[in-house]
Amino acid sequence: MSTATAKHHDDHGHDSHGHPTGLMRWVKSTNHKDIGTMYLWFAFTMFLFAGAMAMGIRAELFQPGLQFFQPQVFNQLTTLHGLIMIFGAIMPAFVGFANWQVPLMIGAPDMAFPRLNNMSFWLLIPAALLLVTSIFVPGGAVAGGWTMYPPLAIQGGLSMDMSIFALHILGVSSIVGSINIITTIFNMRAPGMTLMKMPMFVWTWLITAYLLIAAMPVLAGALTMMITDRHFGTHFFNAAGGGDPVLFQHVFWFFGHPEVYIMILPAFGILSTIIPTFARKPLFGYTSMVYATTAIAVLSFVVWAHHMFTTGMPVAGQLFFMYSTMLISVPTGVKVFNWVATMWKGSITFETPMLFAVAVVFLFTIGGLSGLVLAILPVDIQLQDTYYVVAHFHYVLFSGAAMSIMGGVYYWIPKWTGHMYDETLGKWHFWLTTIAFNVTFFPMHFTGLAGMPRRIPDYSQQFAEFNMISSYGAFVLGLSQLLFLYVVIKCIKGGAKASASPWEGAHGLEWTVPSPAPFHTFETPPVVK
Amino acid sequence: MNKRTILSFCAVFLSFLASSSVQAEYALNLRAPVTEIATQIYDLHMLIMYVCIAIFIVVFSIMFYSLYKHRKSVGHKAVQFHEHHMLEVVWTIIPALILIGMAIPATKTILAMKDTREADMSIKATGHQWKWEYEYLGKDVRFISTLATPQEQIHGTAPKSEHYLLEVDNPVVVPTGKKVRVLLTAEDVIHAWWVPSFGVKQDAIPGFIKEVWFRVEKEGTYRGQCAELCGKDHGFMPIVVEAVSEEKFNAWIASKKAAAAEAAASGDKEWSKDDLIANGKTVYEKNCAACHQASGAGLPPAFPALTGSKIATGPIFGADGKMLKDGHLDRVLNGVRVMPSWKALLNDVEIASVITYERNGLGNSTGDVLQPAQVKAAR
């Protein structure tokens, strides 16, 4: 390796092979750490953008009547908020973690395919531009909901085609990225690191990558059928031509349900890393955690139609999907019990990452239990497409996925920047986020039960009080994320010097390299005993 | 952040909740059920919710006990255990048993919900962007039901009424104690017909017919909404069902039939231009303004303007006296792309009125008049 580097020096006369500088450092980067950083900043930018849309939604819903947005614009806000949060914020953030952490955690020098890695990231930019600029085309952005059900989606204008194209590009990016992650994990682990010695975060990402490879082509299929229906006279989803609008829903949710786990399994991995560190105890039930994660992944492919209980499936289908959905709560429960058992009789401290991890276990379980309520088909008939569902998926996606990401950032940022973050501000960010999140979304359980449909710009007066509370919470929640931005920038610029292993209870290869992690790490593989 | 700050935060939040609950009646739970199925759903939800709350309290009591007792700051030393096979088996099997306990009553309710046999009467409900059409099968009654809340209330220039957004011009009327089957379909996109008090929600899917049923035990007015995103005015297509005694229901059917006969008779006479325009304005605002806007300006590119439109100011009939293809009347009767066909939804008088209004109002002034008899001939 060192001879190769020396030869390179002679060829090009760069002063340092390892540290390209300027814009081209990022554009041409094949370094997993730089690409990871770009993924994380991209995700955070999209998070703020889609979050600003959510502020718009909550402003309109602050009180009954139409105040700020016409109904069509409101639908554009809800649709883009969903699409961008899922495909632009949560998924890229987890890929950012995978890029930074997987090689560091398994003792690999980089990802298996560094150039593909560069391509996966840079594909995100045109996709994001297509989604964002679709707001300005005639007719405005997509307004048929992030689920894009036909025939409504077929009615959409140019923005629908732009969004379909964007999702195709994002799908390619995800598949390429997943192949890269799987190959890295299988081929580049340090000697001695058997599969069952891998950190839990690496395990969850391995399984997530398989889910992505299996699910994204299915979405691409559904979207391609949609585009041929729109422009080339096919009738996949048009009953008048022998098609079926509900076919789209089956195909979409065959992708869509694994997608839900794509967004939560890496979060489980982050929790399974943070909790043992701050409990100063190894993860309880590692083996059963691996099996539970695998079980969740397999089951995620046989529960899709629980999103479609009101389409009027035959009774056998309804029963099958209700039972399989209920079953998913068993492995998910095992995970929660294992985390609690990991805390049990530990020596617990409450630094910001641990606060986030504890809050995620607590709040994610609320989302999990409301998911069990929704799995019960007769109850779902009342709750489908109401604010109860909105509450449910924000409890799993915001306080599950997004807050795990925040906890993960606080946990690993000393390794990434070489500085400790501001603990006081971090705790402020945590408490503001957690309290504002609950003020925003907990009342939605009540409005949903009482019968408020989702995706409506205006509502009857019985829902006024709870909506106003939700809106107040949302505004605080949104503003609190600017504090997060500040804490991160402050940490990059300076702060207390972080040692190689700043957390007392942390184990793992990433803590054996200096902080900040050098541009190239593990050029000689470490040996795991 | 210290404990005091956190506590004062909580105090502020709780006092906010307390002060606003004095002013308003909170809707916290599913609406009061009035059918057997809705009652079963209500009880099922309460059961599942209590079980979930119990599980939640047990698990998180343990977690918070541990967080409190096993802190480093109180000097607790970590005990390095990390596996216990029996425990893993136990906490896999117990939840599985609880789930079986939940699945049994749920399955019973599902089987009852799906049993649409031996209905006493059937109503076909068709979702349109953005209104519901109802047809009482075998009773020869058919009407459209649209939002009755005036635009002024929505835009805040008038105080909001008691049933803001949950009121319609023509409610569905059903007899109590009868098994009513609803056949659902849609004209354009997917809608969903939902009446919470009945425990009924079913997607209305274009090209397919799906069935649901209910039997209302208690007289009253029950309100619901479209529950599947169906475009711009998804939030503005409510459902109102009035459950009445059988006598009142029969009287209502008779009155609906009489009104329809009267409307058909009025189509045979010659109408004056002013009457057509006045009647057309009402029809337009109820049926057309959602897309083409009350001013006729439309919402291009999805919904074209009628003001100055080539179709709305061009000829209706060709030189041979036959209806012109893609002319004004053809568009209204037969529709095109997202424009629905109004043939079955509006009677001759309504179509003649609305076309006359569109050609002489909304900034257009062709001066011509379309008579109901001409519409009848063109059908």
Question: What is the secondary structure of A130-166 as a DSSP string?
Answer: HHHHGGGSTT-S--STTTT-TTHHHH--HHHHHHHHH
What percent of chain A lies above the pLDDT cut of 90?
Answer: 92
List the single residue in A327, A382, A385 with the smallest CB-CB distance to B41: A382
pLDDT for A18 beyond 70 = no
Test A451 with B27 for CB contact under 8 angstroms. Answer: yes
Q: Helices A265-279 and A403-417 meet at what angle, rounded to 10?
A: 60
Q: Are B217 and B122 in contact (CB under 8 A)?
A: no
Q: Which two tokens stand for residue A527?
A: 């040996």
The rounded percent of chain B whose pLDDT value lies above 90 is 53
H or E stretch at A439: helix A423-449
3-state secondary structure of A232: coil
Nearest to residue B85, comparing CAs of A368, A291, A365?
A291
Q: Give the confidence band of A17 by pLDDT, cuts at 50, 70, 90.
A: low
Average pLDDT, integer, range B85-110:
93
Residues of A known to be catalytic: 81, 110, 146, 173-174, 257, 259, 261, 272, 306-307, 332, 335, 454
Structure tokens at B264: 């058909």
Q: Give the amino acid at A331.
A: P
Q: Which amino acid does the sequence have at A79?
A: T
Interface contact flag, B155 A377, Cβ < 8 Å: no
Share of residues in chain B with pLDDT > 70 (%): 93
Q: Contact at 8 Å (CB) between A364 and A399?
A: yes
Per DSSP bridges, beta strands B141-145 and B172-175 are unpaired
Under the banding of pLDDT at 50, 70 and 90, the label for residue A6 is very low
User: pLDDT category, B268, cuts 50, 70, 90?
Assistant: confident
Higher pLDDT, B311 or A256: A256
Interface contacts (A, B; CB < 8 Å): 311
| Residues in contact with A85: Cβ distance below 8 Å, sequence separation at least 6, in sequence order | A46, A47, A50, A51, A397
Range of weakest confidence among A103-117, B173-187, B271-285 = B271-285
C-beta atoms surrounding A529 within 10 Å: 6
Q: Residue A383 — pLDDT band, cuts 50, 70, 90?
A: very high
Neighbours of A294 (CB within 10 A): 15
Nearest Cα residue in chain B from A292: B92
Say how far apart CA A185 and CA A209 lie, in whole Å.
Answer: 11
Q: Which two tokens stand for residue B74?
A: 């109180």
**C-beta of residue B145 within 8 angstroms of C-beta of residue B131:** yes
**Rounded Cα–Cα distance for residues A429 and B329 (Å):** 63
Helices A286-299 and A265-279 pack at an angle, to 10 degrees, of 160
CA–CA distances in Å: residue A44 to residues A2, A409, A482: 37, 11, 11
Helices (H), A238-351: 245-262, 265-279, 286-299, 315-343
Partner-chain residue, chosen from B44, B62, B82, that has the shortest CB–CB distance to A378:
B44
- Cα–Cα nearest to B280, from B232, B332, B315: B332
Tens of pLDDT, residues A171-184: 999 999 999 999 99
Q: Which of A71, A449, A463 sits opposite B232 (nearest CB)?
A: A71
> What is the predicted ipTM?
0.90
Domain ranges of chain B: 25-72+82-113, 121-263, 267-378
Q: What is the pLDDT of residue B326?
A: 86
> Tokens standing for B86?
């029996």
Q: What pLDDT score does A44 carry?
A: 97
pLDDT of residue B21: 44
Structural domains for chain A:
32-512 (1.20.210.10)
**Which numeric CATH code is attached to B25-72+82-113?**
1.10.287.90
Instruction: State the Cα–Cα distance between residues B173 and B336, nearest whole angstrom.
Output: 32
Query: SS3 of B25, please?
Result: coil
Smallest CA-to-CA distance from B18 within A465, A475, A58, A452 is with A465
The hierarchical CATH code for the domain B121-263 is: 2.60.40.420
| Neighboring chain A residues of B147 at a CB cutoff of 8 Å | none
Asked if the B267-378 domain carries CATH number 1.10.760.10, the reply is yes
CA distance A123 to A170: 7
Count the helix, strand and coil residues of chain A and give each as a percent rounded to the nearest 5: 75, 0, 25
pLDDT digits (tens, 9 = 90+) for A282-309: 999 999 999 999 999 999 999 999 999 9
Mean pLDDT confidence for A223-241: 94
Q: Angle A309-A311-A317 (CA atoms, 0-180°, nearest 5)?
A: 55
Cα A376 to the chain's mean position, in Å?
Answer: 26
Q: Which of A229, A284, A460 should be substituted to probe chain B, the one whose Cβ sees the most B Cβ atoms within 10 Å?
A: A460
Give CA–CA dist B161/B154, Å, rounded: 10
Contact present, A107 and A190 (Cβ < 8 Å): yes
Those residues whose C-beta lies under 8 Å from the C-beta of residue A116, and which sit 6 or more positions away, are A176, A177, A179, A180
Please name which of A387, A390, A384 lies closest in space to residue A448, comparing C-alpha atoms: A387
| Type of residue found at A52 | A
What distance in Å separates the CA atoms of residue A269 and residue A252, rounded to the nearest whole number? 26
pLDDT for B19: 47
Question: What per-residue confidence (pLDDT) applies to A336?
Answer: 95
Owner of token pair 């999805």: B302
The verdict on a CB contact (< 8 Å) between A378 and B40 is yes
Tell me how far apart the alpha carbons of residues A498 and A443 are, in angstroms, rounded to a whole number: 41
Per-residue model confidence as pLDDT tens digits over A322-341: 999 999 999 999 999 999 99
